[in-house]
Structure 1
Amino acid sequence: MSDIPTIKEIAKRLNVSVSTVSRALNDHPRIGLKTKQAIQNLAKELNYEPNPKAIFFKQKKSFVIGVILPLISEDFFRKALVVLKT
């Protein structure tokens, strides 16, 4: 088992599908209470935290802006980057 717990590990331990684990962790109404509690308890026990990179990949969003600048040393561009960063 790896250091960081994943949905796949939780699913394997409880013998349920990865989709079921995902839905249970997101409190989906179609997952039974018993199953939902078992998944949430194991996730808590393993200190499971959702991977934001995986979520952004699945949603096809990254919230990252690429910037191409001619000169970073020029004051105008440096100030513009500070505005973008905040």
Structure 2
Amino acid sequence: MDAQQVEALITVLLDRGADIGARDDAAMDLYATDDEQARQALLTVAIDSETPEMVQASAGESLGQIVARTGRALSEEERTSLAPAAGSEYEVVQPG
């Protein structure tokens, strides 16, 4: 995935006015990149209480896949921010 595709997916993901299905697809597709801006966008959406639960869950899954693939764990602050939003819907995978 090139930088332009990543940027387009991030734009859709963060657009609260975008179709929920398009936002969910963007969240799922971003698992395939190691781009830091994508990682931050996924985290932002995952902790935003106004984000539809389906999109939050997909963002959390993608974060988990990125962590599992790269071995780059979320910081303590990121995990703490994510925990209240995650509930029992999903869990971010931590390398172990």
Q: Work out whether the TM-score is over 0.5.
A: no
Give the number of the structure with larger relative contact order, counting CA–CA contacts within 8 Å between residues 6 or more apart: 2
User: Over alpha carbons, which structure has the higher Rg?
Assistant: 1
